Amino acid sequence: MDFAFHTVAVSGAARAGLLETAHGPVETPTFMPLATTGTVKAMTADAVRETGARIVLGNTYHLMLRPGAERVAAFGGLHRLMDWPGPILTDSGGFQVMSLAKLRTLDRDGVTFQSHLDGSTHRLTPARSVEIQHQLDATISMVLDECTPFPATEEEARRSMELSLRWAARSKEAFRQRPGYGLFGIVQGSVFPELRAASAEALVGIGFDGYAVGGLAVGEGQAAMFAVLDATVPGLPGGAPRYLMGVGTPDDLIGAVQRGIDMFDCVIPTRAGRTARAYTSRGVFNLRNARFADDVGPLDPTCRCPACTRHCCGYLHHLFKAGEMLGPMLLTWHNLTYYHDLMQGLRAAIVAGRLDEHAAALRAGWKTEDAP
């Protein structure tokens, strides 16, 4: 099985695609639930499959520290460990080193840091990051990059982007090609269109199996994010998948799909599910709100998940008030189902040639003040 991406239909810049991997196919656009430490929080692997998700995201930084990449390899890889035979994408660890680790020292060749768990010292280089992802048996590995802080001056953003390019080339050298496995480059350049275009061009010159847009959802706002996509996507090859890292709300995802993005990951649906926030066809609701205490109706009458088909809002409210684990379990299940069905709905609309009407109808459905 080759690692391959086929475009099934297009609608403007948007594509309906099929990603083929060593661990099975993925229809795009797709949302990848976070399985940070080797589990989608509050979900069994079977439950994740039932949401419709076909690819999940593991976290190199967390897994290298605990249980350890060598240990995951000894267990037969992350797929086997977490009972997820489907595709797994792993990030490079660079983002978490910058956001979680203590005493970071960045140099031209990599980054040295102390674990946030026990203070032990570790080093990530492009080659080591790719090796760890190999040990985890990642279907899709990511190059090590520096997620440029925001805001940054153009000069800071250029230096950071050029460092990431150097690391991208080294990551490519270190990556061991295997049938159905892939390595993605990451476009950087902050909010500067010329830097983004230059980053994309250079990465395409190196040649990757897919291209991610990184360094966004760091405070720049949706308009700036969309402007970066407009400046970046045209420079990426049509035959490779495009992945917008760490994004976002349903509204963000719709706009990004309209701009040609195929893959997403974000903490929102899982974290929101654990904190009683539900994403629905009618908007965002906080199930802790007292108005749900006596609500005998379903959370989202259009949803096929167990929280919506088996229970009423009053029960979900009760579970969160009582501090019961089943609240986070059911609401995570719901939010991931909503995100998956949102992506599948966009895909169907692209195929049907009516993406913009579908997007407008989705947005019109969000009735709450607390819109997604």
Instruction: State the catalytic residues.
Output: 91, 265
Task: Give min distance, CB of 42 to a copy of itself, in A.
Answer: 5
CB-nearer residue toward a copy of itself: 136 or 152: 136
Residues 292, 273: Cα–Cα separation, whole Å: 16
Q: Which is nearer to a copy of itself, 82 or 257 (CB)?
A: 82
Three-class secondary structure of residue 179 per DSSP:
coil
Least spacing, CB of residue 267 vs a copy of itself, in Å: 15
Burial 195-221 (b: 16+ CB within 10 A, else e): bbbbbbebbbeeebbbbbbbbbbbebe
Smallest separation, CB 178 to a copy of itself (Å): 23
Indicate the residue among 41 and 358 with the shorter CB distance to a copy of itself: 41
> Considering the complex, what minimum distance in angstroms separates the CB of residue 12 from a copy of itself?
40
Report the residue number, 219 or 323, with the smaller CB distance to a copy of itself: 323
The CA–CA distances, whole Å, from 175 to 5, 21, 144, 245 equal 19, 16, 11, 20
The one-letter amino acid at 220: E
DSSP symbol at 34: B
Burial class (CB in 10 A: 0-12, 13-18, 19+), 108: exposed
Q: Are 266 and 246 in contact (CB under 8 A)?
A: yes
Question: Given the complex with a copy of itself, which of 74 and 360 has the nearer CB atom?
Answer: 74
Q: How far is the CB of 334 from a copy of itself (least distance, A)?
A: 12
User: How is residue 215 written in tokens?
Assistant: 């360094």
Integer angstrom CA distances of residue 332 from 48, 70, 226, 282, 345 = 10, 30, 27, 17, 20
Residues 21 and 1: beta-carbon distance below 8 Å: yes
What values do phi and psi take at 280, rounded to 5?
-140, 170
Task: Write out the residues near a copy of itself by the rule CB under 8 A.
Answer: 37-39, 41-46, 62, 66-67, 71, 74-76, 81-83, 293-294, 296, 306, 310-312, 314-315, 317-319, 321-322, 324-326, 328-330
Of the pair 74, 361, the CB lying nearest a copy of itself is at 74
The dihedrals phi and psi of 113, each to the nearest 5 degrees, come to -155, 165
Phi/psi of residue 10, each to 5°? -130, 155
User: In the complex, what is the shortest distance from the CB of residue 180 to a copy of itself, in angstroms, rounded to a whole number?
Assistant: 23
Q: Where does residue 180 fall: left (phi above 0), alpha (psi -120 to 50 degrees), or beta otherwise?
A: left
| Cα gap 61→101, rounded to integer Å | 9
Residue 304 CB, shortest distance to a copy of itself, in Å, is: 14
CB nearer a copy of itself, residue 179 or residue 323: 323
Cβ burial 330-351 (10 Å sphere, 16+ → b, else e):
bbbbbbbbbbbbbbbbbbebbe
Paired residues of 265 in beta bridges: 32
